[in-house]
Chain A
Amino acid sequence: MRRSIVFTTVMTVVCLFFAANLCAESDEYRVGCAFAVTGAASWLGEPQKNTVEMLAKEINDAGGINGKKLVLYIEDTQGDNTRAVNAVKKLIQKNKVSVIIGPSRSGTAMAAIPVAEAAGIPMISCASAEIQLEPIDQRTNIFKVAPNDSDAIRIIYDHIVARGIKKVGIITGTTGFGAAGRTLMLEMAPEYELEIIADETYSPADTDMTAQLINIRNKGAEAIINWSIVPAQSIVPQNIRQLKIDIPFYQSHGFCNVKYAASAGESAEGTIFPCGRILAVDTLPDDNRQKPVLHDYKTKYEEQFKDHVSTFGGHAYDSLLLVVDALKAVGDDPKKIRDYLENAKFIGTGGVFQFSPTDHCGLDKTAFEMLTVKDGKFVVLGQ
């Protein structure tokens, strides 16, 4: 008798537990995020985490999506490959998310891609490297919202060619971002009839690039391109000023961080670099299609977090809005979300996206605007 009571109670509890789970499943949409919230790449992951949390709260306060609650599972990759692999597995297998946003860094994204592909869960990477999407037939579930490095180079080369410059010296950081940029710059130079006469590198921990810059100067460069995403890149303009090298100075979109301009101080004035429009919203012409989105994001983010808005947070913003669009349209079946994303059109902070089965990035060189530093602020470069 007593045993049967115990048995019934246990079974009831188990049933209730499962029932609770079932209910929970039916009235929420689960989205996974894997960002480098802490660690050396936290400057990427932290604004991304802030952004998605802010957006999710806003969406849920407004009644959710199709009447269902948006639930975010945010994992910290710490910018570490092994952790990123574990994080994505956790999101897929434990939290049963229908789509993943992130990771933040190209290396972690590359490590996580095989996991997402094998599980058939769409993943919208916030990292920029183009190799993430290669070859496209093996990357059916992978999308990215960060603009292409090659497009940033195109817009820089266009600008250089228009000035009548032929000889360029490049200096790159030895990180994934720097190395990818270096390879692409060398590859694409002939297309623009440019000659790379000096090819120098520096490690993220270097504190002085004078030697490399002297090399570039002595080889007779007419312009310098500094391609890096680490704080050390701010030392390059300072060294250029100390060496009194007076030739046009370009930076990559890795310079799109107000803190970098601040740490370079006065020497950053006049630097030319391609960048997402988010950092110069106020100086954009009013007829720009992105301006309302950008303005909205910037105001909300800066008000809530008392910090400068960044393009990296913007990638998370675009990813989540894309996901929300997909969930609204097709529900939370991963396959349907994938199919939706493949044909999505969308105006985001990163540009005007136009995805297609052969283009999982959806951005071209119009994603960038040429900016310059004026009085310590980023402004749109006058034509």
Chain B
Amino acid sequence: MAQRDYFGLIIVAVIVTLIPRLIENEYYIGILVFTALNCLTCMGLCLLMGYAGQISLGHSAFYGIGAYATGILTVTLAWSPWIALGAGACFAALVAVVVGVPSLRLKGHYLAMATLGFGAIVHIVFVAAVDLTGGPNGIARIPHLDLFGIELSTDKSFFYFSWAVVILGLFFALNLIHSRVGRGLRAIHGSQDAAGSLGVNTARYKIQIFILSAVYASVAGSLYASFVNYIDPGPFDVMHSVLLVTMVAVGGMHNIWGALIGAVLLSILPEFLSELSDYFGGVGISYNPDYDMLIYGGILLAIMLFLPGGLVEGIRNFLRFSFNAVAKIKRRAFS
């Protein structure tokens, strides 16, 4: 891990501890919990998309598997939510192996289509397996998580907990990126054949990273179920997968920090738009949330056209460019 990354982790930790002191209203804290869950899923997806160069349009399926594992195991079998979380992650990993082994042989559009289909199938299972999942009626009264005897029932306590998980996940991901595996993954992204010829076990690495990203999503799903206490198939549909990919792409696929920033921005955006519409409501300008998808699409389009590396890379290039420009002017002024 580079020094810069440690610095970044510390900044995130400081912001997380400061936020509940700055924002009194629990409502905003609640939104930031959902933001943390999106961050967690997006980090896993970023490892898969940005570092290994494989696309997945079915990640909400893993998110849902985690949520349903927690829901089913805690409510019908009365397991501890922690064991359910672990079991969910193991099951998601198993599913990732089963799906990944054949589908990661595919490339580009074919892989996207295979994962899209996988996501749709899992969603149908959630809807149709009524005896197991409760079908469209979902599962209610999912217990809260408890940590050292403290029940994480308030938004604030869950906020600290979920962001701690995000920081942990980030720490792990950063370490991975700067290890032999991470360099191997980047080699695969560059050229699979070249990486293979250099002794990188491409097939194995791809499966491993797919499993890892599934586990990230599954943990986020389990946390979602424990936080909301109710799940139905709604939040785990294909559109959510698309939204996750959008978040990763907006932030910057090739940088785990980018995924984090993209997830934060796009999770807060709808609330921001609704606040804005409340604010302008008095002047007679009203905003219709039906346009949310339009705005997401517009943002994605603009990013792809003008900042293909995502926001983070775009900002970095801009800074570099302006530093160079300033340096050039200085040099000219002195000479």
Contacts and interface: CB of A to CB of B under 8 A. Distances in A.
Given A76-B289, A80-B235, A94-B25, A131 B31 contact: no
Contacts of A176: 135-138, 232
A1 interface: no
Interface string A72-108: 0000101111110110011011100000000000110
Interface of A: 37-39, 42, 76, 78-83, 85-86, 89-90, 92-94, 106-107, 110-111, 113-114, 118, 129, 131, 138, 174-180, 183, 201, 203
B232 A81 contact: yes
B292 to A, nearest CB: 8
A74 B311 CA distance: 34
A175 B135 CA distance: 8
A79 B232 CA distance: 12
B286 to A, nearest CB: 11
A113 B229 CA distance: 9
B128 interface: yes
A82 B230 CA distance: 10
Contacts of A83: 270
Given A174-B127, A180-B136, 19 more contacts: A39-B290, A42-B290, A78-B289, A81-B232, A81-B235, A82-B228, A82-B235, A89-B27, A93-B25, A94-B27, A107-B137, A111-B228, A174-B136, A175-B136, A176-B135, A176-B137, A179-B135, A179-B137, A183-B130
A37 B135 CA distance: 24
Contact of A114 (B25, B138, B230): B230
Contact of A131 (B25, B140, B270, B274): B140
From B25, B31, B229, B292, residue with most partner A Cβ within 10 Å: B229
B137 A80 contact: no
A38 B290 contact: yes
Given A106-B137, A118-B153, A179-B136, A174 B228 contact: no
Contacts of B229: 114
B3 interface: no
B140 A110 contact: yes
Contact of B30 (A85, A106, A129): A85
11 contacts: A42-B290, A76-B289, A85-B228, A89-B26, A89-B27, A93-B25, A93-B26, A107-B136, A107-B232, A114-B230, A180-B136
A78 B289 CA distance: 8
B102 interface: no
Nearest to B127: A174
From A78, A80, A86, A177, residue with most partner B Cβ within 10 Å: A86
B235 A110 contact: no
A129 B31 CA distance: 27
From B26, B127, B234, B288, residue with most partner A Cβ within 10 Å: B234
Given A129-B137, A179-B137, A89 B290 contact: no
Interface SS of chain B: helix
A180 B229 CA distance: 20
Contact of A93 (B27, B128, B137, B230): B27
A85 B225 CA distance: 13
Interface string B127-160: 1101000011110110000000000010100000
A212 to B, nearest CB: 14
B250 to A, nearest CB: 19
From B136, B271, B274, B288, residue with most partner A Cβ within 10 Å: B136
A119 to B, nearest CB: 9
B25 A179 contact: no
A91 to B, nearest CB: 9
From A79, A80, A111, residue with most partner B Cβ within 10 Å: A111
B20 to A, nearest CB: 13
Interface in B2-48: 25-27, 30-31, 34
A110 B230 contact: yes
Interface in B257-301: 270-271, 274, 288-290, 292
Contacts of A118: 153
A86 B270 CA distance: 11
B230 A81 contact: yes
Interface string B93-125: 000000000000000000000000000000000
